[in-house]
Amino acid sequence: MIVTRRHILKLLGGGAVGTIFSPIPWKLLRDSSVWTQNWSWLPVPQRGPVGSAYSACTLCPSGCGLKVRTIGGRPVLVNGISNTAWGKGGLCPAGTAIHQMPWHPGQLRSVKMRQADGRFMEAKLDVALAAVAAAIKGANGTVAILDGRPGRLISGAYREFLAGKGMIVQPPSVARSSMKVLRSLFKEDPGPLAIDVDQVKAVVSFAASVLENFGQPGLLQQSPKKIRTIQFEAIQSRTALKADQWVPIKPGTEREIALGLANLLLKKGYAANWDEEDRTALEKICAEWTPSKVFATSGVDEATLTSVANTMEIGSTVVVAGPDAVGGPLAIEAEASIQTLNLLLGSVGQAIKPVKIAADDPAFAAIDAVETKDLADVPAKSIEVLIIDMAMAGYALPWNLLADKLAPKALVVSLTPVLDDLAQHSQVVIPTALPFTTVQDIPGHPDFLRSVRMAQAFGAPADDALDPVDFLNRLGKILGINRDVTAADSLSELIEKQAEVLVNAKEGVVLQPKKDPADFDDIDEADELLKRFKRGACFVAAFGQIDTALKFSFDSLGKISDETKKHDFRMQLILTGGVERASLASRSPILSKVDQESGLNPFADGAHVNPETIANLALLPKKRWVVNTPEGSIRVQIRPDPTVPPGVILMSGAPNGPKPWDVANPVELASPGQKSWRIIPAVIKEA
Amino acid sequence: MDKTAISRGLQRAPLGQFLLWLGPWIALLAFGVYCAYLCLRYGLHLTNMDNRFAFGAWIFLDLTVIALGAGAFFTGFLLYILKRKELRAVINSAVTIGFICYSGAVVILMVDVGQPLRAWFTFWHPNVHSMLTEVTFCITCYLGVLAFEYIPILLKNRKLRQIPSFLVFEFNMHKVMYVLAGAGTFLSFFHQGSLGGLYGVLNGRPFVYRESFGIWPTTFFLFIVSAAAAGPSFILLTTWITSKVTKKRLVTQEVYESLGKISGYILIGYVLFKTIDTLVWISMTAPGMGVHPDSFFASKPGYTALHLLEVTIFGFLPMAIYMTKRLRSQIKWLVTAAVLTCLGIVVNRYILTIQTLALPTLPFDELLSYMPSWQETGAFLMVIAYGMIVYSLSFRYANLFPLERELQRN
Amino acid sequence: MSRAKEKPEGAPRYAMTIDLDKCTGCGACMVACAVENNVPPAQSGANDRNGTTLMRVYAMSNKQAYPHAKQVFVPMTCQQCEDPPCETVCPQNAVEYDWTTGIVAQIPVRCLGCRYCMVACPYHARAFNWWDPTWPEGMEATLNPDISTRSRGTAEKCNFCHHRRQLARERAAHEDREMREDEYQPACVEACPVGAITFGNLEDPNSAVSKGFAKPEAFAFVEKLGTEPKIRYLSSQKWVHDMARSGVPGKEATNG
């Protein structure tokens, strides 16, 4: 047979057709589908033994407990822990991704010092510490530590470090918390007060984010009994949306409404068993706030005010206000007027109780040995050295409020894991460990409970990250300052000390996930308590009895402290956004799902203004406008939004854009002259 | 210089001038290839398509060129099956254009899909319920048919036909031309229809969902009819443009008029069918899915005007021109009507691809907008450039217009 | 077309209820979903239209002015339709209604990336991988090994964390018993801090989900499309029900 071209063609053709009927295409299909999915540059999840561990969230004062799913020891998922008194297991979006924090792209990898030309340069730790020590030694003015989260063990160490020679400065959001202000209304200090949520049936809130997404989300919603909420607020926040009743108010009229309610409650005899003197004093202050005057000032009509007053029951209704994560606290007289309602409701002793603090608890060391002040009350230009520890604060703090208190050549040191907006203004930045890379003590939110949890380490901190206790030790060595109660080589040692103190004090209870609570009959050794901490336990201090006399002082309800100068800033800038806006630097990049890939941040796109207001001010639609405040300006786009109250400019109080440490931050518009930046006087002009 | 490659008796521009003409198209092709490469290498995020505009400019333009390229199958059908002998004058050009349109569309599709290496999976795991499966099969087969129809045109080149095996091959092809034409018609009928069916079956989108005859929604048939109407018009247009650019008479007036008349007749059917279909949709289909059609564009009332324009200015008007004998005898009216018909296709495909995706489907949606990125535009321009190059080469070296030699002599 | 008749005996049909009265729009469900399913953080240039958000929370307002404005937050994910429009349209049979669970499954290795399923879905449930996934350096250590990462060019959607069901059944099998229904919960259900999402088996008349479906305040979005979604939303506000009937904002839905 002669092989011709035809034969070859037949072979090839037949072969091609035959291949289609063979397994070859199936194999090719299977193989190609796999390798088109597994290119070399795609990450492959690593396998490993499955385990679980416990920790606590460090991103905000709530300190929610965490159950961590681990693969080969690496954290891959976190969930909240339920059935503990501290929250009902709800986790906010930031906490849901906290296990990714050890790989935060903004992690500081070295000490930074600002050079003469204003730029940050890498520096050696010794050099930085020497500079700080020299500044402290040579300081004529105040040496202060800004502690964003008192109640931690490091807070006690800060106080011991400064004892007798410095000042602890509290951010206004900490200094003017509801419970702090309530406490200050007593003639005799009843000690730290906290809300016992299990006793609460109704909450009357003045713009507090009680039903919000962050800071203990679900605390009220997941309560076994239904807790009724009434929200007095100028804007319709998410809490206002979810509350049983939202009462819209004119911005800045919380004090007047509270006094109006107090007036009605007094008339109902709620202060019948008070001291005559106290009752008369309060009646005098409230007398002018009749329902019609309240209506004229705040827009809350008589029927609404009366009906709210009628639902406020003695013993089980709690009134809260407290700082907004972005907008900060109310002025002291507003907060005090609101907390007076708790006194009238007899909440103190029932739904609000003192907490018992163990005598030698290192977290509370040297309380009386150091002056502690609200930042707003610090004299201007008096601080020469400021050490900032706001990394776990969970509240925004406008830089210019701080700047106003600094002496001309002040040295500012920031202890932080990422370059947040306060660190951007500092001279020295010392990196601390990111969450989940180091063991930490986590006290709970001071307004609700005195509690302690332990956060574990799931990976190593950056090489240059400094343990804050180590920072104080090294500084103390140079300056010759020794600490006593909080002497330790590291935070872990202090935690062990604290465990010892708690076990010896035998007060309080230890809540455990999926188990019954334990008390100190079961736990009689510090090591045992530490073991339980590592397994997700939460120490909760006992509530005490109210044993101080129920005698009050209403001086702080007095006249307005902020000077209302005459100015042309007739609109009111309100910054919104909650904790998620306050601490953008300390959230995992996966939060971009919420920030960038959804419309859930509606006020980040500009200044929202009611079209009525725009019409009144005869503003024509233009591309760029400027929001002017006494402190400065910010360029914005105007978004007509009929859901915003007339006269109000509503903006997100967060740095614009996906980078959390962008400098154009509306919070910086707060004026240092104002004690409260809830409402910033503003006006809109053409760019 | 290349005179020996040019058919005897035909006049063509000097080689230098021809290369000057090709130059910019080659540059555009290079740019387009670069854009396509970028999309393949770095990912489709370089386009402005997104999860809401899952189909964008490429699909819109693909559907348009496939409809315009329908001239290939329809002219073949008319010539070989219905024996309209005058169309022999344009059949080669029609096949070339068809080949260009379909091959270009397939190239763009390979860039458009996320995993082009898996494109052949459809043949192994076909979903018999999906219109897109039908489209894939038919377009692939039809591209094969077109290749078989186009190759003989090339092989008839003066130089190439000197190779005996090519001549034999071409001769054999010619014998089966009727089979190819029939197969082409059958396949085209289905894929033109399925392209319309792609949208008509979407029961999640009240804007495009239509009643069905059997398993085929009315958009299936509307697409076939509109493609049949556009095909001859596009042939008319391209022939006229080619004759103007090359400054030659390529076909007789009779051919133009015949194309126009065919297009006109089909347009009558299309306008009628489309009007009825729209009325049924307004009164029955959309309300049955919970939406009042006048609420679709409540926020942008101008957009509904496009629907009206499609049927009137781009449907009824060219139909009227084509059916009027007096106007049909004037080339400028024929070309006007052809342009309007082709624009009607563009508008229709635009409404179905772009407007559908812009519209809300949930109560908290907004009306969206979309503009292709430069990479998307560049990639499509690659197809245009490719088409111009292939057509120019075909015109120069193959005999696209059999009447040209005769007309040149006169 | 309901599939209940064709399903195997005793097989569950998983469904969800989402309480819009409770949802605060925090987005914890979105984050938990991304963490569980190895979805990477947003790339530069990503926005709400091209980001991969298998669970996404929308805000729906009653379009009134202050102080009558009202809003609800609507977590939207794949509705796991009984008659999925995306199943019939996939040219490669990469989408399949799973009769043994009621979940609409997607075969990512077969997906061509033609995006036709995304055009078909009226609930915007589907996302396309426009980018290759990248994580900040080292963060790959937190990836969940129960799910592969997906390259660019494929479509994806929620599958009710089906891998968790596999794991729960394996664990139960090891212990020689049947899986309990509460052992299988998608990540979003676990993560919701206010307990707005309930998940369970519709075939069990006593499940919370079955009871939720029967409540008068339960509704589905754009029900008239006939896709038979297996997610019901609960709301005590009438305007929410009214709006949900029409797919187009601003116009009252017709009664057809």
Sort residue A298 into left (φ over 0), alpha (ψ -120 to 50) or beta. Answer: alpha
Q: Among partner residues A25, A29, A36, which is closest to B115 by beta-carbon distance?
A: A36
- In A63-110, at which residue ranges do the beta strands (DSSP E only) sit? 65-71, 74-80
Average pLDDT of chain A?
Answer: 88
CB A56 within 8 A of CB A455: yes
Using CA atoms, how far apart are residues B83 and B76, in angstroms rounded to an integer?
Answer: 9
Using CA atoms, how far apart are residues A95 and A66, in angstroms rounded to an integer?
Answer: 9
Tell me the one-letter amino acid at B244: K
Is B40 touching C (CB cutoff 8 A)?
Answer: no
Neighbours of C, requiring at least 3 CB pairs below 8 Å, are A, B
pLDDT (tens digit per residue) in A307-365: 999 999 888 899 999 888 888 889 889 999 999 999 999 998 889 999 999 989 999 99
Categorize the per-residue pLDDT at A659 as very low, low, confident or very high, splitting at 50, 70 and 90. very low
Looking at residue A658, what is its pLDDT?
A: 36
Other CB atoms within 10 Å distance of the CB of residue B13: 13
Neighbours of B, requiring at least 3 CB pairs below 8 Å, are A, C
Q: Nearest Cα to A318, choosing from A450, A437, A219?
A: A219
C254 located within any domain = no
DSSP collapsed to 3 states, A375-394: HHHCCCCCEEEEEEECCCCC
* Domains contained in chain C, number: 1
Residue C80: alpha-carbon gap to chain centroid? 7
Categorize the per-residue pLDDT at B9 as very low, low, confident or very high, splitting at 50, 70 and 90. confident
The residue count for chain A: 687
Looking at residue A225, what is its pLDDT?
A: 83
What CATH fold (topology level) applies to the domain B2-399? Formate dehydrogenase/DMSO reductase fold (1.20.1630)
Across the interface, whether the CB atoms of B51 and C126 are under 8 A apart is answered yes
CB A163 within 8 A of CB A143: no
The yes-or-no verdict on residue C5 having pLDDT over 60 is no
Q: For B114, which residue in chain A has the nearest alpha carbon?
A: A36
Categorize the per-residue pLDDT at A673 as very low, low, confident or very high, splitting at 50, 70 and 90. low
Mean pLDDT over residues C150-163, rounded?
95
Looking at residue A660, what is its pLDDT?
A: 31
Categorize the per-residue pLDDT at A502 as very low, low, confident or very high, splitting at 50, 70 and 90. very high
Interface of A with C in 81-100 (CB under 8 A): 89-93, 96-97, 99-100
The yes-or-no verdict on residue A552 having pLDDT over 70 is yes
Residues of C with Cβ-Cβ distance to B54 under 8 angstroms: 115-116, 118-119, 128
Mean pLDDT over residues C14-25, rounded?
96
The yes-or-no verdict on residue A584 having pLDDT over 70 is no
Is B124 touching A (CB cutoff 8 A)?
Answer: yes
Across the interface, whether the CB atoms of A25 and B124 are under 8 A apart is answered yes
Interacting residues of B219 by C-beta distance below 8 A, sequence separation 6+: B196, B197, B199, B200, B208, B210, B352
Mean pLDDT over residues C219-225, rounded?
93
Looking at residue B61, what is its pLDDT?
A: 95
Residue with more model confidence, A656 or B303: B303
- In B167-288, at which residue ranges do the beta strands (DSSP E only) sit? 212-213, 216-217
CB A569 within 8 A of CB A682: yes
Residues of B with Cβ-Cβ distance to A25 under 8 angstroms: 124
Looking at residue C81, what is its pLDDT?
A: 96
Is A584 touching C (CB cutoff 8 A)?
Answer: no
Average pLDDT of chain B?
Answer: 91
pLDDT (tens digit per residue) in B132-186: 999 999 999 999 999 988 988 888 888 888 888 888 887 887 788 888 888 888 8
The yes-or-no verdict on residue C253 having pLDDT over 50 is no
CA distance B93 to chain C (A): 32
Q: For the domain that residue C230 is a member of, what is the CATH number?
A: 3.30.70.20
Q: For A24, which residue in chain B has the nearest alpha carbon?
A: B124
CA distance A189 to chain C (A): 36
Looking at residue A621, what is its pLDDT?
A: 59
Give me the long-range contacts of C176-183 (CB less than 8 A, separation at least 24).
Answer: C181/C12, C181/C207
Is B118 touching A (CB cutoff 8 A)?
Answer: yes
C165 located within any domain = yes
Looking at residue A657, what is its pLDDT?
A: 42
Per-domain boundaries in chain B: 2-399
Across the interface, whether the CB atoms of C69 and A103 are under 8 A apart is answered no
The yes-or-no verdict on residue B301 having pLDDT over 90 is no
Using CA atoms, how far apart are residues A615 and B408, in angstroms rounded to an integer?
Answer: 73
Looking at residue A562, what is its pLDDT?
A: 55
Categorize the per-residue pLDDT at A561 as very low, low, confident or very high, splitting at 50, 70 and 90. low
For chains B and C, what is the number of CB pairs under 8 angstroms?
209
**In this structure, what DSSP letter does residue B116 have?**
G
C253 located within any domain = no
Residues of A with Cβ-Cβ distance to B121 under 8 angstroms: 29, 33
Q: Nearest Cα to B307, choosing from B266, B351, B272, B342?
A: B351
The yes-or-no verdict on residue B300 having pLDDT over 50 is yes
The yes-or-no verdict on residue B73 having pLDDT over 50 is yes
Looking at residue A622, what is its pLDDT?
A: 61
Using CA atoms, how far apart are residues A469 and A311, in angstroms rounded to an integer?
Answer: 49
ipTM field: 0.92
Mean pLDDT over residues A41-66, rounded?
91
Interface of A with C in 244-283 (CB under 8 A): 248
Domain range for C200: 14-246
Name the β-bridge partners of B27. none
- Strand ranges of the sheet holding A65-71, from the earlier edge strand across to the other edge: A50-56, A65-71, A74-80
The yes-or-no verdict on residue A87 having pLDDT over 80 is no
The yes-or-no verdict on residue A30 having pLDDT over 90 is no
Across the interface, whether the CB atoms of C249 and B360 are under 8 A apart is answered yes
Mean pLDDT over residues A116-143, rounded?
94
pLDDT cut 90: percent of chain B above it: 70
DSSP collapsed to 3 states, A267-283: HCCCCCCCCHHHHHHHH
What chain A holds in terms of domains, given with CATH numbers, is 5-36 (no CATH), 111-174+363-491 (3.40.50.740), 195-343 (3.40.228.10), 571-686 (2.40.40.20)
Looking at residue A277, what is its pLDDT?
A: 93
Looking at residue C2, what is its pLDDT?
A: 47
C252 located within any domain = no
Categorize the per-residue pLDDT at A618 as very low, low, confident or very high, splitting at 50, 70 and 90. low
Q: For B355, which residue in chain C has the nearest alpha carbon?
A: C119
Q: For B287, which residue in chain C has the nearest alpha carbon?
A: C256
Across the interface, whether the CB atoms of B43 and C153 are under 8 A apart is answered yes
Residues of A with Cβ-Cβ distance to B117 under 8 angstroms: 32, 36
CA distance C64 to chain A (A): 7
Average pLDDT of chain C?
Answer: 92
CA distance A83 to chain C (A): 13
The yes-or-no verdict on residue A565 having pLDDT over 60 is no
Neighbours of A, requiring at least 3 CB pairs below 8 Å, are B, C
The yes-or-no verdict on residue A128 having pLDDT over 60 is yes
